[in-house]
């Protein structure tokens, strides 16, 4: 699904405001560099390419930032983009992103949490399965899945790929047999172990 944070009308207004809107101007009066510079000031834009074609047209290609996680807690509401940068919350974002709650420091969000988010974003199974990430005071992580009524205690984010591989195996071999709601907590914190707490 393509997310459009910025409309062509907003782009036109932004350029008109600075006297850079190219419509009605001679080609020699148009600075593609200034158009790029102005549009790249927008915090939702990753990069802009503006150029003149041999047929005397102006092309503007805008590459928007791609959010992968949404951080929502008492202090903040923002996105982490696919480059690990903080992106302001935008009400136009209607995509279904994984929500991050709890004690989320921005340095943790843009480093460890970003790496974890990229893994989830690039893995269709986990992106579909994980609905929420809750960060505890000690930077340990709990996950809330979309399927099943349990909490997944991941612990620290070190070796998260191994932990999720164990969980996937447990889902396939264990929960498919005993039922998805048998346990209230699945703990993956310890190496080569899965500790489950029954309801």
Query: Tell me, what's the pLDDT at 1?
Result: 41
Strands 151-155, 130-135: pairing is: unpaired
Of 171, 126, 117, residue with least CA distance to 148: 171
Distance between CA atoms of residues 18 and 12, nearest Å: 10
Task: Give the fold, CATH level 3, of 67-198.
Answer: Rossmann fold (3.40.50)
Of 61, 99, 141, 38, residue with least CA distance to 89: 99
User: In the predicted model, what is the mean pLDDT of residues 54-71?
Assistant: 91
Ordered DSSP codes for 46-94: EEEEEEE-TTS-EEEEEEE--EEEEEESSS-EEEEETTS-EEE--TT--
Strands 86-88, 67-72: pairing is: unpaired
Q: Where in the chain is the domain with CATH 3.40.50.11690?
A: 67-198
Q: Say whether pLDDT at 197 is over 90.
A: no
Query: Tell me, what's the pLDDT at 189?
Result: 93
Mean pLDDT, the chain, rounded, equals 89
* Residue recorded with tokens 């790929």: 161
User: In the predicted model, what is the mean pLDDT of residues 70-91?
Assistant: 86
Query: Tell me, what's the pLDDT at 134?
Result: 97
Strand order in the sheet with 130-135: 86-88, 77-81, 67-72, 98-102, 130-135, 141-145, 151-155, 183-187, 195-198
Cα 101 to chain centroid distance, Å, stands at 14
Q: Say whether pLDDT at 135 is over 60.
A: yes
| Confidence category of residue 4, pLDDT binned at 50, 70, 90 | low
Classify the phi-psi angles of 6: left when phi > 0, otherwise alpha if psi is within -120 to 50, otherwise beta.
Answer: beta
Q: Using CA of residue 14, residue 15, residue 18, residue 24, what is the dihedral sign?
A: negative
């Amino acid at each position: 699904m393509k997310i459009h944070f910025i409309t062509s009308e907003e782009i036109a207004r932004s350029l008109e405001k600075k006297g850079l809107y190219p419509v009605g101007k001679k080609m020699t009066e148009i600075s593609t560099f200034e158009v790029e510079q102005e549009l790249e000031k927008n915090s939702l834009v990753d990069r802009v390419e503006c150029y003149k074609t041999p047929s005397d047209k102006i092309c503007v290609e805008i590459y928007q930032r791609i959010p992968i996680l949404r951080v929502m807690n008492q202090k903040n509401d923002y996105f982490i983009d696919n480059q690990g940068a903080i992106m302001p919350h935008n009400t136009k974002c209607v995509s279904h992103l994984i929500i991050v709650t709890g004690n989320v420091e921005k340095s943790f969000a843009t480093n460890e949490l970003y790496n974890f988010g990229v893994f989830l974003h690039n893995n269709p199974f986990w992106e579909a399965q994980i609905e929420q990430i809750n960060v505890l005071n000690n930077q340990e992580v709990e996950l809330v899945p979309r399927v099943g009524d349990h909490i997944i205690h991941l612990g620290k984010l070190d070796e998260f790929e191994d932990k999720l591989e164990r969980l996937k195996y447990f889902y396939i071999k264990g929960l498919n047999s005993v039922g998805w709601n048998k346990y209230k907590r699945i703990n993956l914190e310890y190496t080569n172990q899965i500790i489950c707490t029954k309801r």
